Amino acid sequence: MEECIMVGCDRHDKKMVLKMAVGRKESRRRDYESGPAGRAAMIGDLKAWAAELGGARILLAYEASGQGFGLYDELKAAGIECCVLAPTKIPRSPQQRKRKTDETDAEVLLNLLRGHELAGIALPAVEVPTRQVRDDREVLRARTDTAEKIGQVKTQIGCVLKRNEVRRPSGLGVGWTRAYRGWLKALSECDEPMEAGARVALGTLLRQLGMLEGEMKGLDGEVERLAKAARYEPVVTALRRHKGVAAVVAMIFVTEIGRPTRFGNRRKIGGHLGLAPSSHESGENGDNKGHITRQGSFRVRRALCQAVWARVRTDPEEKAAYERIVRKNPKHKKIAVVASMRRLAVRMWHTMVDVWKNQEEGSPVLQVG
């Protein structure tokens, strides 16, 4: 049997702590800097050790984090097998959580690799997207973050008005209309009814809102450009045939989901997106269902929620299904929203799978699932 060097890597901004072992042998520790020089030294040492063992395989694992997948790319380019593991799916005892060190974290990852290599236990690995998809995600995530900031600024404007007991005139309608914005601007410039400090606060918030909305317009243009790119146009076109699914929603779904065929059925896609109910079963107690798990990408859930409200307004069938669930749970309308989100996610996933298979077969015909 070919020998395998297994490496658990606890990675941080400035350093990496490695626990390495061959088979069931005792592990050894090595520390490296996280910069380019440190990563190059680590790769060189691992390959030298593998050469001493007659060309052993090298398998390294580290936890997914905000540092991205640059280390994964470097290791794969160097011929080293690499697994990026999901932190939320790594079991840790209460004692391990209270006595958390870099070395123990690296040891946990090493033991997971040992279980995988020696006993065939599946690793809680994440799907590593291509560099192109990662780069495209940045545009969609910037757009999502900007939308959130716009909502926060609008809330702050409302708070300024409340603190100063200024009420919106009834003749301005509902929502952020042009008339309402003009009234706010005039309010920030006139002497009455707010004091000077409040006028300054309102003025700066209005300028921030204008800047963010300008950025949002530019990002929407970038999203439309991506949606028309050859790598996305077939699937985005198919997804937009679902009522309520705009280009932004389709692009968020596609870039965050990645390869759709990795999900075997609708339950797996629902669980991946955190739209499956949590459960608790113990002894004689049955399987008690709770709130949704909220695992996976919150950006996809937010996009699905926006699409669902658009579907409820424009699709009689979806509206009827939503109202049927609301009648059963009049005090918990969120249950109906989540059910609609899960149903839409499954339909979009089926559409992605159909497009994926058609592309693999070389067929130009796209069918909506």
- The domains located in the chain, with CATH, are 4-119 (3.30.420.40), 131-227 (no CATH), 233-279+289-360 (no CATH)
Pair 320, 360: CB distance under 8 Å: no
φ, ψ dihedrals at 315, nearest 5°: -115, 110
CA 84 to mean position of chain CA atoms:
15
Query: What secondary structure does DSSP assign to 227-285, as a single string?
Result: HTSTTTHHHHHHHTTSTT--HHHHHHHHHHH--GGG--SHHHHHHHTT-SEEEEEETTE
pTM, two decimals, is: 0.87
DSSP state at residue 174: S
Question: Whole-angstrom Cα distance, residue 125 to residue 85?
Answer: 4
Pair 283, 315: CB distance under 8 Å: no
DSSP state at residue 16: E
Average pLDDT taken over every residue of the chain: 91
**What pLDDT, on the 0 to 100 scale, is given for residue 249?**
96
**Size of the chain in residues:** 369
DSSP state at residue 10: E
Taking only the tens place, the pLDDT of each residue in 13-49 is 999 999 999 999 999 999 999 999 999 999 999 999 9
Taking only the tens place, the pLDDT of each residue in 99-135 is 889 999 999 999 999 999 999 999 999 999 999 999 9
Pair 61, 123: CB distance under 8 Å: yes
CA distances from 226 to 162, 233, 235, 242, 255 (A): 41, 8, 12, 19, 11
Pair 290, 280: CB distance under 8 Å: yes
The candidate with the shortest Cα–Cα distance to 340, out of 310, 367, 366, is: 310
Question: Whole-angstrom Cα distance, residue 175 to residue 179?
Answer: 10
Question: Whole-angstrom Cα distance, residue 349 to residue 266?
Answer: 8
DSSP state at residue 33: E
**What pLDDT, on the 0 to 100 scale, is given for residue 4?**
94
Taking only the tens place, the pLDDT of each residue in 42-91 is 999 999 999 999 999 999 999 999 999 999 999 999 999 999 999 988 98
CA distances from 101 to 6, 29, 95, 114 (A): 20, 13, 12, 20
Residue 242 clears pLDDT 70, i.e. is over it: yes
Taking only the tens place, the pLDDT of each residue in 326-369 is 999 888 889 999 999 999 999 999 999 999 888 765 544 333 33
Residue 284 clears pLDDT 80, i.e. is over it: no
Q: Strand 57-63 to strand 4-11: parallel, antiparallel, or no bridges (unpaired)?
A: parallel
